[in-house]
Structure 1
Amino acid sequence: MPPMGYRQIAAALRAAIDAGEHPPGSRLPTEAELAAEYDVSRETVRRALAVLKAAGLVTTATSQGTVVARPPVRVRLAHYATAADPDRPGRDLGPWETACAEQGVTSRVEVTGVDRVPAPEQVAELLGLPAGSEVVRRGRRMFAGEDLAQVQESWVPADVAAGTPLERPEKLVGGLYAALTAAGVELAAATEEVAGRGPTAEEQDLLGLPEAGTVLEVWRVTRDRTGRAVEVLHTVSDIRRVARVYEDLPIG
Structure 2
Amino acid sequence: MAAQWFRVYDTLRKAIVVGELAPGSQLPTEFEVSATHHVSRNTVRRAYLALSQDGLIRSVNGRGSFVMQTGITYEIDATSRFRDVLDGQGVKSSVRAVEYRDMATDIAMAACLAVAIGSPLLKVTTLILGDDTPFILTTRHVRADLIDDLERKLLECDSLTLVARSEGLGQLRRVSRTVGARLPTQREADLLECPSHAPVLVVSTTSRIDNGMLLECQDAVMNGRLVRLSFRSD
Q: Shared fold (TM-score greater than 0.5)? A: yes
1:24 shift after superposition: 2.5
CA distance in structure 2 between the partners assigned to 1:137 and 1:190 by the alignment: 20
Q: Would the aligned equivalents of 1:108 and 1:142 in 2 still touch at CA under 8 Å?
A: yes
The letter for the 2-side match of 1:77 is: I
1:222 shift after superposition: 0.8
Aligned to 1:184: 168
CA distance in structure 2 between the partners assigned to 1:101 and 1:126 by the alignment: 31
Structure 1 residues 31-40 or 9-18, which shifts more? 31-40
Aligned to 1:51: 50
CA distance in structure 1 between the partners assigned to 2:65 and 2:103 by the alignment: 45
1:155 shift after superposition: 2.1
Deviation string 1:48-90 (CA, Å, 9 cap, x unpaired) is 1222133332245799865432214544426x825xxxxxxxx
Inter-CA distance 97–168: structure 2 relative to 1 (3 Å threshold): same
Q: Would the aligned equivalents of 2:57 and 2:195 in 1 still touch at CA under 8 Å?
A: no
CA distance in structure 2 between the partners assigned to 1:30 and 1:148 by the alignment: 24
Aligned to 1:197: 182
1:144 shift after superposition: 4.3
The letter for the 1-side match of 2:55 is: G
1:36 shift after superposition: 6.1
CA distance in structure 1 between the partners assigned to 2:59 and 2:101 by the alignment: 38
Instruction: State which of 124, 131, 139 in structure 1 corresponds to 2:125.
Output: 139
1:221 shift after superposition: 0.4
Inter-CA distance 47–221: structure 2 relative to 1 (3 Å threshold): same
Aligned to 1:130: 116
The letter for the 2-side match of 1:227 is: G
Q: Percent identity?
A: 27
Q: Would the aligned equivalents of 1:118 and 1:133 in 2 still touch at CA under 8 Å?
A: yes
Matches within 5 A, 1:205-220: 205-208=190-193, 210-220=195-205
Inter-CA distance 122–64: structure 2 relative to 1 (3 Å threshold): closer
Unaligned runs of 5+ in 2: none
Aligned to 2:3: 4
1:32 shift after superposition: 5.7
CA distance in structure 1 between the partners assigned to 2:36 and 2:14 by the alignment: 16
CA distance in structure 2 between the partners assigned to 1:42 and 1:55 by the alignment: 20
Q: Would the aligned equivalents of 2:175 and 2:207 in 1 still touch at CA under 8 Å?
A: yes
Inter-CA distance 185–21: structure 2 relative to 1 (3 Å threshold): same
Aligned to 1:81: 79
- Secondary structure at the counterpart of residue 202 of structure 2: strand
CA distance in structure 2 between the partners assigned to 1:181 and 1:64 by the alignment: 44
Aligned to 1:92: none
1:218 shift after superposition: 2.1
TM-score by length of 1: 0.71
Unaligned runs of 5+ in 1: 83-94
CA distance in structure 2 between the partners assigned to 1:201 and 1:60 by the alignment: 13
- Secondary structure at the counterpart of residue 221 of structure 1: strand
- Secondary structure at the counterpart of residue 53 of structure 1: helix
Deviation string 1:165-187 (CA, Å, 9 cap, x unpaired) is 63426524261112112222233
The letter for the 1-side match of 2:142 is: V
Residue 120 (structure 2) pairs with residue 119 (structure 1): no
Higher relative CO (Cα under 8 Å, sequence separation at least 6) belongs to 2
Q: How many residues align?
A: 233
1:213 shift after superposition: 4.1
CA distance in structure 1 between the partners assigned to 2:103 and 2:117 by the alignment: 12
- What RMSD, in angstroms, separates the aligned Cα atoms of the two structures? 3.5
Inter-CA distance 104–55: structure 2 relative to 1 (3 Å threshold): farther
CA distance in structure 2 between the partners assigned to 1:217 and 1:3 by the alignment: 36
